[in-house]
Amino acid sequence: MIRTSLRRVLAPGIALTAVLAVSACGAANEDSASGDTEVLKGAGATSQEKAQEAWIGEVQGQNSGLEIQYQPIGSTDGRKQFVEGAVAYAGTDSALTDEEGQLSDAAETCGSEPIQVPAYVSPIAVAFNLPEIDSVNMSADTIAQIFDGKITNWSDVPDQQEDGVELPDLDITPVHRSDDSGTTKNFTDYLGKASDSWPYEAEDAFPVDGEAADGTSGVVQQITNIEGAIGYADNSQVEGLGKVSVAVGATFVPPSPEGAAKVLEVSPPAEGVSDVDMAVDLDRTTTEDGAYPVVLLSYLVACQSYDDEAVQENVKTFLTYVVSDEGQQKSAEAAGSAPLSDATAEKAQSIIDTIGSASS
């Protein structure tokens, strides 16, 4: 069996095998690869799209017979495809839990509890389109009231701006995701925990009617097209738009990978997680200097065992690359994400090492 040492990158020459669709212990694997090219499929979070492209490019560059296809269809649908055994791994901005039975369903598909490790840490930018304005300061209450339709004109935004920044008399058009999204759940989780003005639960579906668009790219396009619009999206995908600096204690902090990483460092594990689950309860109310609490932590989910030993080793090797120093640097360069800390990456690797240890 292929073994890769802790935090070591994928070595050239390792032969990866892949499948078009895979389910775990006790279920059939399908292999529809043609010729010498084999296909590994994953699906899920749109926030991971640029990072996945970087990871996939490196792995495929070292293995000419491998094609990896990641479908950025959203966290909810990615989790669903994984639970149904349609993909080998899933990316999700919202941790797999048993609130809707997903964790137990995944365990049934996998034959044992699935692993869940952090792969991508990034700020969610609250992005806007205002002529000649690049940055606006807002408290969590202000952001909540805008997205709940309580503040409807930019001139009514509370005066917390830097000298010389005057907000225009212009209608605000909040834009949200029309599809179920882990980014939405992270954003509404922030509003619910950091604000007294958000009465809704954190959910994948946005709870307020209004302007909506499909996927991260759709939201960004709508903000770009509508003067006065404001929305939320992974920070890596809002180039050219203005960004809100959010209140953290007495200061206002713009989105940055470093700010996102600080939030992860001060956040405790989620309640009741197992030894192979690294889900955390993100601290949205931290006053840590420089922390940016509107953050998403995107996970990779996989089985501990697969029917096909080659598939098992391939998933293991791919995930090992993702959490390696090189893999994290590649996603930082491609998507502006925050590299995992050494301690977080080492724990993730120790969990990835359990792939193949669970009995079928």
What CATH class has 38-122+263-280+295-352? Answer: alpha beta
Query: Residues 225-246: what's their mean pLDDT?
Result: 95
* pLDDT score of 81 more than 80: yes
d(C-alpha 31, C-alpha 18), whole Å: 8
- The mean-pLDDT minimum among 37-51, 112-126, 148-162 falls in 37-51
Q: At 117, give phi and psi (nearest 5°).
A: -130, 150
* pLDDT greater at residue 18 or residue 62: 62
Q: For 169-190, how does the pLDDT look when each residue is reduced to its tens digit (9 = 90+)?
A: 999 999 999 999 889 999 999 9
Contacts of 175 (CB under 8 A, 6+ apart): 210, 211, 212, 213, 219, 222, 223, 226, 229, 230, 231
> How many C-beta atoms surround the C-beta of residue 7 within 10 A?
18
The fraction of the chain above a pLDDT of 70, given in percent, is 89
Q: Helix %, strand %, coil % for the chain, to 5?
A: 35, 20, 45
pLDDT-derived band at 194 (thresholds 50, 70, 90) equals very high
Backbone angles phi, psi at 119, to 5 degrees: -125, -30
Please tell me the CATH code under which domain 124-256 is placed.
Answer: 3.40.190.10
Backbone angles phi, psi at 274, to 5 degrees: -85, 180
- Give pLDDT, residue 98: 84
> With the CA atoms of 206, 207, 212 and 215 taken in that order, what torsion angle do they form, in degrees rounded to the nearest 10?
10
Q: pLDDT-derived band of residue 3, with 50, 70 and 90 as boundaries?
A: very low
How far apart CA 315 and CA 18 sit, in angstroms, is: 8
pLDDT, one tens digit per residue, over 300-314 is: 999 999 887 877 878
User: pLDDT, tens digit, for every residue of 34-76?
Assistant: 456 777 889 999 889 999 999 999 988 887 777 888 999 999 9
The pLDDT > 90 percentage for the chain reads: 69
User: Do the domains 38-122+263-280+295-352 and 124-256 sit in the same CATH topology, yes or no?
Assistant: yes
Question: pLDDT-based confidence at 358, cuts 50/70/90?
Answer: low
- The pLDDT score that the predictor gives to residue 161 is 80
The per-residue pLDDT of the chain, averaged, comes to 87
Q: What pLDDT, on a 0 to 100 scale, did the predictor assign at position 36?
A: 66
Encode pLDDT of 327-348 as tens digits: 999 999 999 899 998 889 999 9
- The answer to whether residue 6 scores a pLDDT higher than 50 is no
Residue 21 has pLDDT above 80, yes or no: no
Binned at pLDDT 50, 70 and 90, residue 12 comes out as very low
Extents of the domains making up the chain:
38-122+263-280+295-352, 124-256
